[in-house]
Amino acid sequence: MNDTTRESGSKTGEFEHMRCVENPFDLGVTEYIPKDLKTQAQRDIENICDEIKGILLEKNRKYGNSALEPVRVFSQAEPDEQIRVRIDDKISRLRSGQVDDDEDVILDLIGYLTLLIVYRRNNGKV
């Protein structure tokens, strides 16, 4: 993989670490940008990602690791296939307008897509 690392000092004396990689989905990349140098969009992205992280961790605490390690009582499908079915169901409900007032289908979709990435990476499918 071809990558480069750049460090530049900020006005607070901290460093901004950026690693450019060929594959933008390489989540091993960590960017550190001091809070006072972040744009509003960057702060908004962090807040939304933190919200999704909180939702996923809370559901994992409540329901166990059921998405990644299903009990397989009725379905023998692989976990990634089961997650894709859940994604299809969410998209179908969104398209047909059958969304409950208390549910955020977009956040749910992002959560399921995140779980799909986790499963695929942990099982060498990426």
Instruction: Place 21 in a pLDDT band, splitting at 50, 70 and 90.
Output: very low
Q: What is the CA radius of gyration of the chain?
A: 19
Domain ranges of the chain: 64-126
Condensed to tens digits (0 to 9), the pLDDT of residues 48-66 reads: 999 999 999 999 999 999 9
Sequence-separated contacts (24+) of 45-54 with Cβ below 8 Å: 51/107, 52/107, 52/110, 52/111, 52/114
Is 93's pLDDT higher than 90? no
Nearest 5°: phi and psi at 115?
Answer: -60, -35
Regarding pTM above 0.75, the answer is no
Tokens of 70: 């299903």
The mean pLDDT of the chain is 80
- pLDDT reported for residue 94: 86
pLDDT band at 33 (very low <50, low <70, confident <90, very high): confident
